[in-house]
Amino acid sequence: MSRSRHVPKPSWVLVLVAFLTFGSILLLNGVVNAEFGNDAEGAGERGPDAAIPAVVTEGGSVLDATHDPVRTISYPAKTIALSFDDGPDPLWTPQILAVLKKHQVPGTFFVLGSQAAQYPQLVRDIRAQGSEIGLHTFTHPDLSRLSESRVERELTLTQFAVAGATGEITYLVRPPYSSRVDALDDEDYDVVQGLGKAGYITALTDFDSRDWERKGVESIVRASTPRDDAGGSLLLHDAGGERSQTVAALDRLIPQLKAQGWTFATTSGAVGLPSANHRATTFDVVAGNVLLAATAFSTGAVRVLEWCLLIVGGLVVLRLLLMLVVAGRQKRRTERQARDPNRPVYTRPVSVIVPAYNEKECIEQTVRSIAAGDHPVEIIVVDDGSTDGTSDIVERMAMPNVRLIRQPNSGKPAALNTGIAAARHEVIVMVDGDTVFETSTVRLLVQDMVDPQVGAVAGNAKVANRNSLVAKWQHIEYVMGFNLDRRVYDEWRCMATVPGAIGAFRKSALRQVGGVSEDTLAEDTDLTMALSRAGWRITYVEGSRAWTEAPGTFAELWRQRYRWSYGTIQSMWKHRSAVTAKGASGHFGRVGLLNIALFQVLLPLLAPLVDVFLIYGLFFLDPWVTLAAWGAVQVIQLLSAVYAFRLEKEKLGVLWLLPLQQIVYRQLMYAVLIRSMVTAITGIRLRWQKLRRTGDFGGAPAAVGPKPLPPSVEVYTGAFQAVRPGGAQGAGPARTGAPPRAVTPPGSFRR
């Protein structure tokens, strides 16, 4: 019996590959650029142990453990090797090389592999000037605390970096935190012996400039000057901190010692060893070039990400300013208009369309809440091929002013168009079948329709089922996200979405743009964009509240937001020509679409960097600075949330969940947007996904509607006729830059 194999979807494969690649880039960059471990200080004075032979502790500072017993080599009298640890550094190494060139003396640079991989040209400059290269490990760890395999990796990677930069390798090693031979302990000696077995010669120090203490140029010169004529190696640093004192001290020390008869040489040259640097094998050079290329790519990529992080910070601050200025201004303006005693009142009846597909859990509460309102309405329920008895429930309710239209399953846009064609009134309210209204919802919603320039009005969608953690997070998102954005869009006259849960439309405006389009999965966003481009003004009314049942599980939430996100991307692509259009269409494109691109696409795509760099910074950067920066972003988010909740007079108690929302809920939204982008790029066609409903409206203060009256339900079972452009006359602005039919981008959104 054959078994079917599960093949991952292309979008998931791309996401996984991108995630692994991104993780590898950060890990490599973190190892290369880590700000821990490399403190560029001298060694701890632990003192010799009895197990170390006296010939070692009393011998020279160059230890050759490639043979047994260990051989020590001393420097000749009046001979000094200037050695520099922890580099190369793009600022200080060139200055030190300039001083050496000025005085015609060589040096020995014990490089860190992580630094050499970032600045290979400096390694080449060191060799070109006649100085030699030694190894100082890749990440500056204490080798006595590492396993043999880790020590081998540290040195091998450093050799690769040197080989990639110069085509050479070296046998000289100076372990980090090492000092004089008389300071070796048993653990240090084990490291020396291990290095010898691997073919390395250990070069310790005889004189310590203590430049890492930064006590001044005079102090460094004094510590670097030998007390007698015994030669040796002088420890200095060309990286690991601010080294201007080292540069200045070196410029004074060299001529001073020359005047006293001292000779300067490389470490290998001073003790009579062959040149420390010799030609690398082809494998080492190739491996080194791969390491250098990977390092350059990861460093460049992280630099770009750091700029993106700055952009995120700027967008977060900009959004806060928009909230404080624009949204606050919209709030004050609408309240002032509402208090105006001379403001006209819209009293004419309106048609309320309820598209329904398998809404048995919610449909009765939805219809009753609308019928219980204080504005005259006709209610049109369009059953779009339900199989759960939704239409039977409506029919049994037998409520006045309710019409039921049955049609074969054709999708939500078709159901809405059927309702529009059947509507008797000029103003049409569209409401989802899982939403309930308050008594004043319709009346408040349609008041802006007294202005003939208003083509649509967005209501205030609220989360009704706030019992679960997922629903509470959505409540926060609705208040500080969707509704706050609509205030800004209202003030700037570039509304992008009238929510499907609650919105009023002028019938003539709907006819002008061709009704509700089936081109995208976000028909509400697509329709709103078309109306905005056609020159109609679209407003937002906070007081007109609709209570909708939000997804109660992460799986349901994923399906809903995946559709929303994908549909928004489709709508943006469909109306992309508005960016270069003139008139109202151009205003929407350059203001509305720009806002969506910045705050609904770019910011969510880049916002994960805040959390990524939190983890990155805790491991590879200063953890306290990292936590402070991350905390500042969270404080801004909290201030934004408090302000948004105050605007809508919502209780602040739920905001204690905001930090957890940032850590858990927000990651899901990131994944949804990324998955949607990948789906669009790969050209996968996303289908409509019905969410499971429970009929939980426990948090809604909506009316339940009147008791059933004698039957007056009109049942329609025939074919339906959708609205077509140009079918009726109506007041409104001239069409300016109305959108064309959707054009499918290459490889995307195929019907």
Residue-wise pLDDT for 334-366, tens only, equals 888 888 888 899 999 999 999 999 888 889 999
Q: What is the CATH number of domain 46-280?
A: 3.20.20.370
Nearest by Cα to 678 from 605, 575, 594, 609: 605
What confidence score (pLDDT) does residue 730 get? 34
What percentage of the chain reaches a pLDDT higher than 90?
48
Measure Cα distances from 545 to 346, 440, 463 in Å.
Answer: 18, 8, 10
What confidence score (pLDDT) does residue 265 get? 96
Query: With bands split at pLDDT 50, 70 and 90, how would you rate the model's confidence at 20?
Result: low
The answer to whether residue 539 scores a pLDDT higher than 80 is yes
Is the four-CA dihedral 174, 177, 179, 185 of positive or negative sign?
negative
What confidence score (pLDDT) does residue 230 get? 93
Q: For residues 207 and 223, give the distance between their C-alpha atoms in angstroms, rounded to a whole number.
A: 8
Which tens digits make up the pLDDT trace of 180-216? 888 888 888 999 999 999 999 999 999 999 999 999 9
What confidence score (pLDDT) does residue 701 get? 65
Which tens digits make up the pLDDT trace of 548-578? 888 878 888 888 888 888 888 889 999 999 9
Which tens digits make up the pLDDT trace of 115-157? 998 899 999 999 999 999 999 998 888 898 888 888 898 899 9
What percentage of the chain reaches a pLDDT higher than 70?
82
The answer to whether residue 731 scores a pLDDT higher than 70 is no
Domains 46-280 and 306-340+348-716 alike in fold: no
Query: With bands split at pLDDT 50, 70 and 90, how would you rate the model's confidence at 479?
Result: confident
Q: What is the mean pLDDT of the chain?
A: 82
Q: Is 237 an annotated catalytic residue?
A: yes
Measure Cα distances from 691 to 312, 361, 363, 500 in Å.
Answer: 33, 12, 14, 15
Query: With bands split at pLDDT 50, 70 and 90, how would you rate the model's confidence at 316?
Result: confident
Measure Cα distances from 690 to 314, 439, 685 in Å.
Answer: 38, 28, 16
What confidence score (pLDDT) does residue 552 get? 78
End-to-end, the C-alpha distance of the chain in Å comes to 36
Q: Is 67 an annotated catalytic residue?
A: no
- Domain topology for 306-340+348-716: Spore Coat Polysaccharide Biosynthesis Protein SpsA; Chain A (3.90.550)
550 vs 447, which has greater pLDDT? 447
What confidence score (pLDDT) does residue 739 get? 34
The answer to whether residue 454 scores a pLDDT higher than 80 is yes
Sorted by where each begins, the domain ranges of the chain are 46-280, 306-340+348-716
Active-site residue, from 140, 237, 375, 587? 237
H or E element, residue 590: none
What confidence score (pLDDT) does residue 521 get? 84
The answer to whether residue 455 scores a pLDDT higher than 70 is yes
The answer to whether residue 683 scores a pLDDT higher than 70 is no
The answer to whether residue 718 scores a pLDDT higher than 60 is no
DSSP 447: G
Q: Angle formed by the axes of helices 483-492 and 328-339, to 10°? A: 70
The answer to whether residue 728 scores a pLDDT higher than 80 is no
The answer to whether residue 246 scores a pLDDT higher than 90 is yes
Mean pLDDT, residues 385-391 taken together: 91
Active-site residue, from 64, 85, 251, 448? 85
What confidence score (pLDDT) does residue 266 get? 96
Nearest by Cα to 723 from 505, 424, 519, 420: 420
What confidence score (pLDDT) does residue 128 get? 96
